[in-house]
Amino acid sequence: MPAVTLSVDRLSRLVGVQLTPQQIADLAAALGMSVEEVGEAEVKVEYNPNRPDFGSHITIARAVRGLLALELGAGKYHARASRIVVRAERSVEAVRPFIACALVRSLNLSGEDIADLVGLQEDLHWILGRDRRKVAIGLHDYSKIRPPFLYRAVGPTEIRFIPLDSYEEMTPQQILSEHPTGRKYSWILEGKELVPIIQDSRGNILSFPPIINSSLTELRAGVKEIFIDVTGTDERAVNQALNILVTALIDLGGVAYKTLVAYEGRRRRVYTPDLLKRRWVLDPSLVSRLIGLDMPVREIVNALRRARLDARVSRGKIIVEVPPYRVDILHQVDLVEDVAIGIGYQNLEPILPDTPGLGALLASSRTSDILRHVMLSMGFTEVVNTTLANTERDFKWMLIPKEPDVKILNPVSTLYDCLRELLIPGLLSNLATNSKNPYPQRLFEIGDVIVRDDETPEKTRREKHLAFVICHSTASFSESKSVLEEALRLLDISNDLSARDYPFFIPGRGAALIKDGVEVCFIGEVHPAVLENFGLYMPVACCELNLSKAGII
Amino acid sequence: MSRQGAENIELHPLEKRVLSLILSEGPLGFDEVAARLGVNVGAVAKSAEWLAEKGLAESSKASVTHVATLGEEGLVFVEKGLPERRLVDALRSMGGEATLAQIEAMGILDKNELNIGIIWAKRNGWITVSKSDNEVRFRLERYPDSKTDEELVLEVLKRGAANLEDMGPLQKACERLGRRPRILRINEVTRYILTPTKKALSLSPELLEETEEISQLTPELISSGAWRERGFRRYDVTTPVKAFQAPRPHPLTYLIQLVKSIFIELGFEEVQGPLVELAFWNFDALFQPQDHPAREMHDTFYLATPAKGDPPKELSAIVGRVHRDGGETGSRGWGYEWSIEEASRLVLRTHTTATTIRHLAQSSKRPLKVFTIDRVYRNERVDWRRLAEFHQVEGILVDKSANLRQLMGLIREFYSRLGLKKVRFRPSYFPYTEPSAEVDVYVERRGSWVELGGMGIFRPEVTLPLEVSEPVLAWGLGLERLALLLLDVNDARILYQNDLRWLYSFNPLKLERLRVSF
């Protein structure tokens, strides 16, 4: 989850009320953020990705002002007309097809304001931009550039400019291979012959999206006019990001201007930012039903206004206007949650549902429980292992000449690369873990294994197994056979063991149980070569029973 | 205490030996008995106590002796000489007169020793002390040529402790030194004598015969009746024995059973679903857009083999439209081109919601109350708080009248039955629920709130494609986090390590008490 470190001082100034760190923590939690740390001067919070507008003091202050009823309803967000044109060449279509721009004037940004904006920008890159791939944002000092602007794709060595955090001119290719930011994001442009750039009427490069801006337009404290470019692969997300930034700058006292984006050859001309307010008709009875609280319409309207939405009543329905930065409202139910937040979750008294129901365990759970008791009563201690397994341990160490049925594509940890098909390897690992503990050791596990099954939509099937290991200086086939026989008597399975060699058993000391022509169980003394692989220096006898194949579960 | 007639007196072998000895030799000191029988005095004292209880012997205080031993200073002085001796030696070497400063400068006595030396040399009349011109002066009056009695005592004790009563002419000096306890300590030692009683004298001799005692009762001894002829050896019941470890259920399965029983009590039916899951059920059916960060490779395990499965055709078409533009659900949708290829990928399910949503799709039972406790996977590096495979406690309640407050009430009831009485709810976000909430429980022992799970009401984008029109309350709670709290463990990896020491330390009764008193 994205995080913001809120300065108590700055947030208080923006809200207009002196707040304590604890008050800020409580307000953040009430807004759906998760409070990580409450310090003396700072409060660290994490927010959910459905609210990409929560990445700054400015925008959080807006929500807090609503919650404290200092300001209700949505603010006024307009953009004036301008003559700024951004021409998008056809060449960008295959590289990064969409662009949206805005100009914001009448600002006077402090260093703090700029840091806040950059924080918001970075979070937007991650949440809406999927790490800049889908959306990338450039913020520019407008006094350094002159419209109209041109968005086009060029060869990677065709142009040169001084990128941020550098003192020398570089080509896009150099930036991608040498500049730290370039190297970090070069993957986005991988395989593209051309790279996108934005330039002004004098031919100055503003930006090389989604990689880096030119140092020419770098923001400094005191900046009065900001030009914003947002480029990307998803037009909706591009516009959302621009709206979130422009509305934040309007909250800082800025005046926004629209730009005309002209897509060459696509016959499309779009004015951005759209600052679109969306209108929703909300059924008050839906609110009462979902929250479980009979609320007068007036109260619902108030709660929505506290959530900084415009709301009014019309013919028994509530007309809600959603400001452009609220990109999370996809359905009426999203407004219902805003009502609940407006009321405060802490003010909703929990009640027990009166829905009748008869509790029942799965038959497989009941059978597993009985088998667990049987194994415990025979002196075996239960272990629980993961189904995530390792080819090395589960197959190579076991001397099983087979590839796993289920292989994982992308394990982050090297501990796992497949799913288990037997419980025994896990149990042998457990014995190795316990080699310093007193003997005899008798362990069992009842658990799932996963095998291929092309008949199911998931191409796999869960099977329930029961396995036990006996480990001490005189552990033997016969001891394990006694245990198995008792289990088989309980399970009402005829006990017809037949000799069978397994790679992991000592030759001549393994046996199988065949039921209706299917092997459902094996039992034997573990081969010392296998014991060595596991780092075990004590004899082991073991048994594994496939409860699913045996028709028990 | 039981009354004992003379006829059923039972004697321990040592008691028999002690009693026989004093019956034939007459009263003896404990020390003598010990020496004769080759046992230690403590064992004799114990037997004497038992015999006294049975009225067969009496112990009496015979004498009190005083034993002198050297103290820590005594051990030093016996080598270096007493301080008063060293002081007069020094004075004599200086010609019979010296100032304090001069003596100090010689360094043969430390400050403490010098003080002691002055006191005793003065008291013995060996020196006089005067003060003039702010200086303390000593003058040798009489030099003790022969060794003093005190010095002789030290020499005697150098060889070992001695009875005061055996010191003869040195006894007085010894007592004097005894008043300087760091030099010499005098301890009182009482000597006891054991005398047989009249009852012992009239005891039948067989009783004192040393019969072969039974240590292990055997079937033969019982059936032959031979046990009647022979006594039983007494056990020392305080002797440590070999540890017995009863087999235990694994704490996690125990906890899972406990949680299951709570949902059964609350009227929920258990369900189960696949561990290897179609991305369709794990994500798409839950309205998670296909470029959602949670679907990325570093969060989700995708399978290499088998890589793809078969999502349900008709439902896929509907779900795809909902993702694009909301379809018939009243939603705006996510606004992107949905791909069935992506939905066909096989993953290790990242949450048990994949199972409840499957069940919701196939069950037409209303109202519906189901739960599942099962394994889920996250493609993460394993550390003390994160596991790649763990359990979730998941459930849904489908009913026309279901609502958010009821969901809160249900979850509060669940935790309360686990002993976690204080819970709070915060707004939260999941792509498939709205409204959504997060539940924290307050843990007194830690003095803090612990986040334990998420919940919400399924979005219409999730339920309407499945033709479910009623509100669906849904929750997914972490089991391992709960386990860490209830079992008081700090490292999640311990839960799957299966170290027998840890497994045997698990006490279900303790957990039960904790649950009550939380």
Chain A residues whose CB is inside 8 A of the B380 CB are 412-413
**Partner-chain contact A383 B270, CB within 8 Å:** no
Q: Which of residues 274-303 of A touch B (CB under 8 A)?
A: 289-293
**If you measure CA to CA, which chain B residue comes closest to A348?**
B405
Q: Which of residues 379-438 of A touch B (CB under 8 A)?
A: 379-388, 405-413, 415-416, 419, 430, 433-434, 437-438
To the nearest whole Å, the CA of A292 is away from the closest chain B CA by 5
What homologous superfamily does CATH list for A79-272?
Phenylalanyl-trna Synthetase, Chain B, domain 3 (3.50.40.10)
To the nearest whole Å, the CA of B420 is away from the closest chain A CA by 15
Q: What is the pLDDT of residue B495?
A: 96
pLDDT > 70 in chain A, percent: 100
Q: Which of residues 318-357 of A touch B (CB under 8 A)?
A: 330-334, 336-337, 340-341, 345-346, 348-357
What residues does CATH 3.30.56.10 cover in chain A?
3-67, 278-343
Domains of chain B (ranges plus CATH)?
6-64+189-228 (1.10.10.10), 70-185 (1.10.10), 252-273+350-513 (3.30.930.10)
What residues does CATH 3.30.930.10 cover in chain A?
363-546
Q: What is the pLDDT of residue B177?
A: 83
Chain A residues whose CB is inside 8 A of the B431 CB are 50
Name the class of domain A3-67. Answer: alpha beta
Q: Which of residues 425-454 of B touch A (CB under 8 A)?
A: 425-429, 431, 434-438, 451
Of A435-444, A469-478, B108-117, B365-374, the least confident: B108-117
Q: Which of residues 60-99 of B touch A (CB under 8 A)?
A: none
Q: What is the pLDDT of residues A42-80, one digit of tens each?
A: 999 999 999 999 999 999 999 999 999 999 999 999 999
Chain A contact for B417 (CB, 8 A cutoff): no
Q: What is the pLDDT of residues B416-440, one digit of tens each?
A: 999 899 999 999 999 999 999 999 9
**Partner-chain contact B500 A31, CB within 8 Å:** no
Q: What is the pLDDT of residue B2?
A: 40
Q: How many residues does chain B have?
A: 518
**Partner-chain contact B404 A415, CB within 8 Å:** no
To the nearest whole Å, the CA of A323 is away from the closest chain B CA by 16
- Of A241, A239, A351, A244, residue with least CA distance to A293: A351
Of A360-364, A405-409, B169-173, B245-249, the least confident: B169-173
Q: What is the pLDDT of residue B211?
A: 66
Facing residue for A337 by CB, picked from B275, B348, B436: B436
With 60 as the cut, is the pLDDT of residue B281 above it?
Answer: yes
Cβ pair B82, B151 in contact under 8 A = yes
pLDDT > 90 in chain B, percent: 44
The complex scores an ipTM of: 0.93
Q: How far is CA A179 from the centre of its chain?
A: 29
Of A83-87, B55-59, B433-437, B456-460, the least confident: B55-59
Q: Which of B258, B265, B298, B434 to mutate to test the interface with A (most CBs of A within 10 A)?
A: B434
In chain A, how long is the greatest CA-to-CA distance? 93
With 90 as the cut, is the pLDDT of residue A141 above it?
Answer: yes
What residues does CATH 3.50.40.10 cover in chain A?
79-272
With 50 as the cut, is the pLDDT of residue B6 above it?
Answer: no
Chain A contact for B495 (CB, 8 A cutoff): yes
CATH architecture of the domain A363-546 equals 2-Layer Sandwich (3.30)
CATH architecture of the domain A278-343 equals 2-Layer Sandwich (3.30)
Relative to beta strand A388-389, strand A418-419 is antiparallel
**If you measure CA to CA, which chain B residue comes closest to A237?**
B335
Residue B201: helix, strand or coil by DSSP? Answer: helix
How many Cβ atoms from other residues are within 10 Å of residue A169's Cβ?
12
**Partner-chain contact B269 A360, CB within 8 Å:** yes
Phi-psi bin for B47: left (phi > 0), alpha (psi -120 to 50), beta?
alpha
Chain A contact for B416 (CB, 8 A cutoff): no
- Of A56, A48, A54, residue with least CA distance to A14: A56
- H helices of A395-504, in order, are 424-433, 477-491
Cβ pair B267, B367 in contact under 8 A = no
**Partner-chain contact B367 A332, CB within 8 Å:** no
